[in-house]
């Protein structure tokens, strides 16, 4: 058995009875293997994180990609490998099948896995010269329309170099991992998560055309909200958000933190895209 895993935290999806039932089954199974495990509510998890020495060796998340994104957002500066059990629809971040987990989990305990690191971006929202909110995101940050069906006006920079001004339904700033989410639906490219880049993808630009742009992750992206009658809305990983005001600044750059995913399969990125339906294999 691997000397790496002694302490495991298990986080089932909220209000998902099957995920909760499996959590207890996994905890008992791990106990028989001599591994200590505890079950936590994933939504309150940051409040239950104790001292640094209490940090688990791995975190098992029983849910979909959204549940995993929610957990990563609560880890703050701690980097803990995540192992996902797929209870969602797409399951791009999850590794284990809830119906056939024992064999694969045995391999994890024996150390037969790799850890894949994924880019995390951080942001700060500045209003009237003060930072009023900051944090990080794993998939995407979206500056979009507010409650009214009106376009938003945005100015964009990379570093001190102006990129463009656009009127659009919105703008997506995406990591490679997030390129398979809202960005691809808006016409952006699929980007291998092995690449150290970020993407700017407009949503339905009006009159002035702007193609999706891929830039090095070292780029510092600045967005200024120019819309005079409404600010728009800021959304993070499709889960949390807040209203924006005219004149707000959003500054985005690479975080020192990375997301760590436990991987068992040897399938390539292209194979995963095919299995999830992002690419038609051409076989009929």
Does residue 92 have a pLDDT over 90?
no
Task: Give the CA count within 13 Å in the CB-facing half-sphere of 195.
Answer: 17
Bigger pLDDT: 174 or 54? Answer: 174
CATH number at residue 138: 2.60.200.30
Chain centroid offset of residue 41 CA = 19
Segments forming the whole domain that contains residue 75: 7-113+264-275
Same domain, 236 and 271: no
Q: Is residue 1 situated within a structural domain?
A: no
Residues 126 and 228 in one domain: yes
Inter-CA distances, 223 with 53, 147, 231, 251, 283, Å: 39, 20, 12, 7, 43
Higher pLDDT: 221 or 54? It is 221
Same domain for 96 and 136: no
pLDDT tens digit sequence for 164-214: 999 999 999 999 999 988 999 999 999 998 899 999 999 998 877 789 999
Q: Say if residue 230 is in the same domain as residue 271.
A: no
Domain presence at residue 284: no
Q: Verify that 217 and 185 share a domain, yes or no.
A: yes
Would residue 282 count as lying in a domain?
no
Inside any domain, residue 135:
yes
Look up the CATH number of the domain holding residue 104.
Answer: 3.40.50.10330
Does residue 109 form part of some domain?
A: yes
155 and 228 fall within a common domain: yes
Tens digits of per-residue pLDDT, 124-133? 999 999 999 9
Q: According to the model, what pLDDT value does residue 1 have?
A: 44
CB-CB neighbours of 77 under 10 Å: 8
Q: How many CB atoms lie within 10 A of CB 113?
A: 21
DSSP 8-class letter at 216: E
- Domain count of the fold of the chain: 2
- Same structural domain, 250 and 126: yes
- Rounded-to-integer distance, Cα 153 and Cα 225, Å: 6
Residue 280 lies in a domain: no
- Whether the predicted pLDDT of 50 surpasses 60: no
Sheet holding 197-203, edge to edge: 213-216, 197-203, 170-174, 140-144, 232-236, 240-244
Residue 51: alpha-carbon gap to chain centroid: 25
Which of 21, 28, 44, 65 is labelled catalytic? Answer: 65
Q: Is residue 51 part of a domain?
A: yes
| Residue 204 shares a structural domain with residue 250 | yes
Tell me, yes or no, whether 215 and 177 share the same domain.
yes
User: Could you give the C-alpha distances from 234 to 122, 133, 185, 225, 278, in angstroms and in order?
Assistant: 14, 11, 18, 11, 27
pLDDT in tens, 137-166: 999 999 998 766 689 999 999 999 999 999
Q: Identify whether residues 29 and 127 lie together within a single domain.
A: no
Report pLDDT for 47: 54
Active site residue 65: yes
Task: Specify whether 103 is located in the same domain as 131.
Answer: no
């Amino acid at each position: 058995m691997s000397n790496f895993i002694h302490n495991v935290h298990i986080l089932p999806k909220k209000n998902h009875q099957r995920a909760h039932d499996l959590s207890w089954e996994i905890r008992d199974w791990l106990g028989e293997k001599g591994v200590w495990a505890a079950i936590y509510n994933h939504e309150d998890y940051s409040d239950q994180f104790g001292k640094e020495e209490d940090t688990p060796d791995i975190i098992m998340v029983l849910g979909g990609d959204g549940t995993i994104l929610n957990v990563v957002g609560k880890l703050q500066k701690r980097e803990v490998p995540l192992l996902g059990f797929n209870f969602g629809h797409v399951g791009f971040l999850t590794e284990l099948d809830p119906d056939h987990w024992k064999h694969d989990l045995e391999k994890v305990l024996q150390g037969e896995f790799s850890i894949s690191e994924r880019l995390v971006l951080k942001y700060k929202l500045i209003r009237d010269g003060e930072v009023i909110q900051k944090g990080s995101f794993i998939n995407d940050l979206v500056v979009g329309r507010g409650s009214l069906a009106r376009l938003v006006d945005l100015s964009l920079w990379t570093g001190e170099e102006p990129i463009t001004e656009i009127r659009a339904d919105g703008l997506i700033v995406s990591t490679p991992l997030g390129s398979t989410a809202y960005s691809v639906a808006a016409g952006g490219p699929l980007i291998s998560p092995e690449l150290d880049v970020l993407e700017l993808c407009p949503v339905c630009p009006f009159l002035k055309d702007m193609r999706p742009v891929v830039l090095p992750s070292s780029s510092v992206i600045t967005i200024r909200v120019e819309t005079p009658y409404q600010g728009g809305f800021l959304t993070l990983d499709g889960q949390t958000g807040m209203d924006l005001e005219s004149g707000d600044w959003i500054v985005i750059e690479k975080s020192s933190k990375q997301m760590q995913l436990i991987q068992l399969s040897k399938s390539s990125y292209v194979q995963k895209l095919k299995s999830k339906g992002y690419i038609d294999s051409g076989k009929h």
